[in-house]
Amino acid sequence: MPETIHRVLLDQNIPVAVAQWLTQRASEWQVVHVNQLGFEGRSDRFLFEWAQANGAVVVTFDEDFADSRFQALGRHHGVVRLRVWPTTTEAAIEALGRLAEQLPLTEWVGALIIVDNRRIRVRRLPSL
Protein backbone atom coordinates (compact mmCIF):
# COMPACT_ATOMS: atom_id res chain seq x y z
CA MET A 1 0.00 0.00 0.00
CA PRO A 2 1.46 3.42 -0.91
CA GLU A 3 2.53 5.68 1.91
CA THR A 4 0.22 8.59 2.65
CA ILE A 5 1.76 11.96 1.86
CA HIS A 6 0.79 14.71 4.23
CA ARG A 7 0.81 18.30 3.00
CA VAL A 8 0.48 21.67 4.67
CA LEU A 9 -0.48 24.80 2.75
CA LEU A 10 0.45 28.05 4.49
CA ASP A 11 -1.87 30.90 3.59
CA GLN A 12 -0.46 34.15 2.21
CA ASN A 13 -0.94 35.87 5.59
CA ILE A 14 1.47 33.43 7.27
CA PRO A 15 5.10 34.64 7.13
CA VAL A 16 7.17 32.67 4.60
CA ALA A 17 9.78 31.95 7.29
CA VAL A 18 7.20 29.74 9.03
CA ALA A 19 7.40 27.35 6.06
CA GLN A 20 11.11 26.86 6.65
CA TRP A 21 10.59 26.26 10.36
CA LEU A 22 7.72 23.80 9.82
CA THR A 23 9.67 21.94 7.12
CA GLN A 24 12.49 21.36 9.61
CA ARG A 25 10.04 20.37 12.34
CA ALA A 26 8.02 17.99 10.15
CA SER A 27 10.40 16.77 7.48
CA GLU A 28 8.06 13.92 6.50
CA TRP A 29 5.42 16.47 5.45
CA GLN A 30 5.38 18.57 2.30
CA VAL A 31 5.08 22.17 3.47
CA VAL A 32 4.32 24.82 0.87
CA HIS A 33 3.56 28.49 1.13
CA VAL A 34 1.02 30.14 -1.17
CA ASN A 35 3.80 32.43 -2.46
CA GLN A 36 5.96 29.44 -3.43
CA LEU A 37 3.12 28.23 -5.63
CA GLY A 38 2.63 31.63 -7.27
CA PHE A 39 -0.83 32.00 -5.72
CA GLU A 40 -0.37 35.46 -4.20
CA GLY A 41 -3.63 37.39 -4.24
CA ARG A 42 -5.78 34.36 -5.05
CA SER A 43 -9.13 34.06 -3.31
CA ASP A 44 -9.71 32.01 -0.18
CA ARG A 45 -12.03 29.79 -2.22
CA PHE A 46 -9.27 29.08 -4.76
CA LEU A 47 -6.77 28.25 -1.99
CA PHE A 48 -9.28 26.06 -0.18
CA GLU A 49 -10.08 24.14 -3.37
CA TRP A 50 -6.37 23.71 -4.14
CA ALA A 51 -5.79 22.37 -0.62
CA GLN A 52 -8.63 19.88 -0.99
CA ALA A 53 -7.47 18.70 -4.42
CA ASN A 54 -3.94 18.23 -3.06
CA GLY A 55 -4.77 16.77 0.36
CA ALA A 56 -3.35 19.72 2.30
CA VAL A 57 -4.04 21.03 5.77
CA VAL A 58 -4.45 24.83 5.57
CA VAL A 59 -2.65 26.99 8.14
CA THR A 60 -3.94 30.57 8.26
CA PHE A 61 -4.63 33.67 10.32
CA ASP A 62 -7.83 34.14 8.27
CA GLU A 63 -11.02 33.46 10.23
CA ASP A 64 -12.93 32.62 7.02
CA PHE A 65 -11.22 29.23 6.83
CA ALA A 66 -12.57 28.39 10.31
CA ASP A 67 -16.12 29.43 9.41
CA SER A 68 -18.37 26.39 8.92
CA ARG A 69 -20.41 28.40 6.41
CA PHE A 70 -17.26 28.55 4.23
CA GLN A 71 -16.52 24.83 4.51
CA ALA A 72 -18.21 22.30 6.72
CA LEU A 73 -16.32 20.29 9.29
CA GLY A 74 -15.48 16.91 7.82
CA ARG A 75 -15.40 18.31 4.31
CA HIS A 76 -11.77 19.37 4.32
CA HIS A 77 -8.35 17.88 4.94
CA GLY A 78 -7.80 20.12 7.95
CA VAL A 79 -7.61 23.77 8.93
CA VAL A 80 -5.35 25.33 11.54
CA ARG A 81 -6.55 28.83 12.36
CA LEU A 82 -3.93 30.86 14.23
CA ARG A 83 -5.67 33.38 16.42
CA VAL A 84 -2.56 34.84 18.01
CA TRP A 85 -1.42 38.37 18.52
CA PRO A 86 0.81 39.81 17.28
CA THR A 87 0.68 38.11 13.88
CA THR A 88 4.45 37.85 13.60
CA THR A 89 6.74 35.05 12.50
CA GLU A 90 7.71 34.44 16.12
CA ALA A 91 4.09 34.27 17.34
CA ALA A 92 3.12 31.92 14.51
CA ILE A 93 6.08 29.63 15.20
CA GLU A 94 5.37 29.65 18.94
CA ALA A 95 1.71 28.76 18.35
CA LEU A 96 2.50 25.98 15.87
CA GLY A 97 5.21 24.69 18.21
CA ARG A 98 2.70 24.44 21.07
CA LEU A 99 0.25 22.73 18.75
CA ALA A 100 2.84 20.20 17.51
CA GLU A 101 3.83 19.40 21.12
CA GLN A 102 0.23 18.77 22.16
CA LEU A 103 -1.15 17.19 19.00
CA PRO A 104 0.85 15.11 16.51
CA LEU A 105 0.71 16.45 12.97
CA THR A 106 -1.20 13.36 11.85
CA GLU A 107 -4.04 14.50 14.15
CA TRP A 108 -4.26 17.81 12.28
CA VAL A 109 -5.71 15.96 9.28
CA GLY A 110 -9.47 16.43 9.00
CA ALA A 111 -9.70 18.66 12.07
CA LEU A 112 -10.53 22.30 12.61
CA ILE A 113 -7.92 23.57 15.06
CA ILE A 114 -7.97 27.04 16.55
CA VAL A 115 -4.83 28.14 18.35
CA ASP A 116 -4.84 31.33 20.38
CA ASN A 117 -2.27 32.77 22.75
CA ARG A 118 -3.34 30.50 25.61
CA ARG A 119 -5.23 27.48 24.40
CA ILE A 120 -5.83 25.07 21.57
CA ARG A 121 -9.30 23.94 20.50
CA VAL A 122 -9.75 20.93 18.25
CA ARG A 123 -12.98 20.14 16.48
CA ARG A 124 -13.62 17.08 14.37
CA LEU A 125 -16.55 14.99 13.36
CA PRO A 126 -17.27 12.18 15.82
CA SER A 127 -16.15 8.73 14.70
CA LEU A 128 -18.92 6.40 13.65
For 1-128, strand residue ranges (E) read 7-10, 30-33, 56-60, 79-83, 112-116, 120-123
pTM of the model: 0.88
Asked if 18 and 97 touch (Cβ cutoff 8 Å), the reply is no
Domains along the chain with CATH numbers:
7-123 (3.40.50)
Average pLDDT by stretches of 10, the chain with 128 residues: 69 96 91 96 92 93 73 74 95 96 89 94 75
